[in-house]
Structure 1
Amino acid sequence: MKTPVAFFIFNRPDTTEKVFQAIRQAQPPQLLVVADGPRPDQPEDVRDCAAARSIIEQVDWDCQVMKNYADVNLGCGRRVASGLDWVFDTVDRAIILEDDCLPHPSFFRYCEELLEKYQDDERIMTILGTIGLGRWKPDSQSYHFSYWPSPVWGWASWSRAWRYYDHNIKAWAIPAVKRKIRAFMPEDALFMGMVWRFEQAYQQKVDTWDWSWYFAILSHSGLAIVPSVNLVSNLGFGPKATHTKSRRQRVVGRTYSLNFPLTHPKEVAIDRDYHTEITKVTWSQKILAQLKAKLRPYKRYFLKFLD
């Protein structure tokens, strides 16, 4: 393996240890570790953050370890965003894992090969490790292209793509940008889901970084590579999580082996059938109705399909 791995940790030594062991098996030549500091109102964080950081000292392969540790708590949004700024200022590409994203061994080779293959293709902005369907056309191709860049539970990208990142997504205020994203995302449900995210991020009502990353991708008509099988298991569902407190088990707990050599799509083209299927799985009629109600105050933009 030749590709750097960026590892984001905080206060969960139990899941950190599991993900670290997967990284240890892959033996990347560079490990960039980003850690948030303890929260002032949570005394146990001092102990737990220290325990998580101590796991990094177990590196026992030929590896350059670089650390970006915060002394104070920056929060999920600012810490990950600033950490990724540092990562992509340091290296030109990276595989990114958080402390609750447990990759299948084939995840690393999949990312590395596609980072190399598409390094100069400006259309491709991110390589995902998670597919919301568990499996999708695995017998015909190893991956497909999507305008749905979610979720970022184990992913990879290049500094050339990250340079578009703006945590405050100031460009969301520009009507032409909204129209551009709408034209790029014809699926009503998927588009509405992103509009809701972008409104929350723009108004700074949520402490997260990934919604701003989705905006950077979609506002530049960027594509995501999605594997044909789920390659990352999310260990973070539960009461100690920041955003995923429910114990949803659907496809997030199971991974599959990806076969090599990779079978590449014939062309770089959006898989529309995948978007139709992911809409059925992700958005029930009840959720869609709730989403429309939430978005109705923003109808003045151009959401005519809310009528």
Structure 2
Amino acid sequence: MNPIPVVLFVYNRPEHTLKVLESLKENNVEKLYVFSDGPRLETDLQKVKKVREIVSSINWCEVEYEFSEKNRGLAESVIYGVSKVFKAGYDKLVVLEDDCVPSPDFLNFMREAFDFYEDYDNVMHISGFGLPLKKYTEPDVYFAPYPCSWGWGTWRKYWEACDFYQYENYKSLLQNESMCRKFNYAGEAFSEFLEMQLKGQINSWLIRWYFHIFQNNGLAVWSYNSYINNKGFDGSGVHGNKIDRFNQKLELDKDINDEKIVFEENVAVNEDLIREFRRYFMGKKLSERIKTILYLIKRKMEVKMKWGEK
């Protein structure tokens, strides 16, 4: 049997890349593919070279890497790289970006999730990152319509069926009020992301991947316990984010389970959970923003009270 490969996308952040690689080594990776994007600006060149020196020195697993001369940008790099690895003959793979530091049991979680959901036709994506939500269901994972890009995996049969350039279909959805509501079931921001993609204001593989999952009535597996620590909220990334709106500090509220992972067999979404899930994808509506602010204040108070009692 082929190992489940890890596909890592890097650019110009040597310190971030080192942290991710150190953590991947602890995960006992068997096969690693690294895609290094070419410099977009002359000022990026030295850091890109440094990252490539780090990648070239990997000697603790089987590794293949591709150093692009041109700058594709993150979205096109992911679409290109994941597609290329699948063409090498793998049925499933795991993807990381250079700011997503995995926990030591990240790959174990991904392997077990792949095994468990192998024959579930509408489970199309596995997310290693977990939002700081309350635990609404007994298993250690839950289902949501929207996928996560922070440490994730999928199967070849779903990825290769995805057309990432369905511009007319994107337009049709945005012009259909009923379909927009369904598209935004787990977050008011999703149709806004799709519109921004059409206008060229962002270039996201994720919103296009979500569109494909939505089209095919698919779902994503999310874990209550997060296996990823995103270190990219320092302004160094493509989007320059400095505020962690996913509030990773609330991870302390998770009940870590050292026993065998319990997977959800009932492939359905929990409506109470989705109401909370929506707060992290609130969109631009004032009403949504107010609800989110109130929700986050309430959650912080709950966490403070819980840990203050112990």
Q: Contact conserved, 1:168 with 1:202, CA < 8 A, in 2?
A: no
Q: Among 85, 88, 98, which residue is 1:87 paired with?
A: 85
Residue 245 of structure 1 corresponds to which residue in structure 2?
A: 241
Find the residue that maps to 2:195 and give its secondary structure. helix
8 Å contact from structure 2 (residues 100, 231) kept in 1: yes
Following TM superposition, by how much is the alpha carbon of 1:92 offset from its aligned partner in structure 2, in angstroms?
A: 1.7
Instruction: Provide the C-alpha distance between the structure 2 equivalents of 1:51 and 1:138, rounded to a whole number of angstroms.
Output: 45
Which TM-score applies when normalising by structure 1? 0.82
| Alpha carbons of structure 1 residues 214 and 249: separation in structure 2 relative to 1, 3 Å | closer
Q: 1:265 corresponds to which letter in structure 2?
A: E
Counterpart residue number, 2:59: 60
Question: Could you tell which deviates more after superposition, 90-99 or 246-255?
Answer: 246-255
- The answer to whether the 8 Å contact 1:124/1:224 transfers is yes
| Separation of aligned partners in 1, 2:46 and 2:216 | 42
Per-residue CA deviation, residues 143-173 of structure 1 (Å, 9 max, x unaligned), is 0111122x31111111111123333233323
**Cα–Cα, structure 1 residues 139 and 145, in superposed 2: closer, same or farther, change >3 Å?**
closer
Structure 2: gaps of 5 or more residues: 291-310
Map of 2:161 onto structure 1: 164
Q: Give the 5 Å matches for 1:89-238.
A: 89-90=87-88, 91-132=90-131, 134-137=132-135, 140-149=138-147, 151-170=148-167, 171-174=169-172, 182=180, 184-185=182-183, 187=185, 190=187, 192-238=188-234
Match of 2:42 in 1: 42
In the alignment, what sits opposite 1:260?
A: 259
Change in 2 beyond 3 A, CA 1:125/1:238: same
- Corresponding residue pairs, total: 283
Change (3 A) 1:186 1:100: closer
Tell me by how many angstroms 1:119 deviates.
2.1
For 1:278 and 1:220, the matched residues in 2 are separated by: 21
TM-score, normalised to structure 2, is: 0.81
Structure 1: gaps spanning 5 or more residues: 291-307
Identity %: 24
Structure 1 residue 177: Cα displacement = 10
Q: Distance in 1 between matches of 2:250 and 2:94?
A: 20
SS at match of 1:248: coil
Question: C-alpha separation between the residues in 2 aligned to 1:158 and 1:204?
Answer: 28
**What is the root-mean-square deviation in Å for CA atoms of aligned residues?**
2.8
Instruction: Give, in angstroms, the shift of residue 203 of structure 1.
Output: 3.3
Q: Aligned equivalents of 1:267 and 1:230: distance in 2? A: 21
SS at match of 1:270: coil
Q: Deviations over 1:264-288 (max 9, x none)?
A: 2241111222111122455386273
Deviation of 1:120 (Å): 2.9
Contact 2:234 2:241 in 1 (8 A): yes
What letter corresponds to residue 93 of structure 1 in structure 2?
K
Task: Sort the Cα spacing of 1:145 and 1:84 in 2 relative to 1 into closer, same or farther, 3 A.
Answer: same
> Is it true that 1:69 corresponds to 2:71 in the alignment?
no
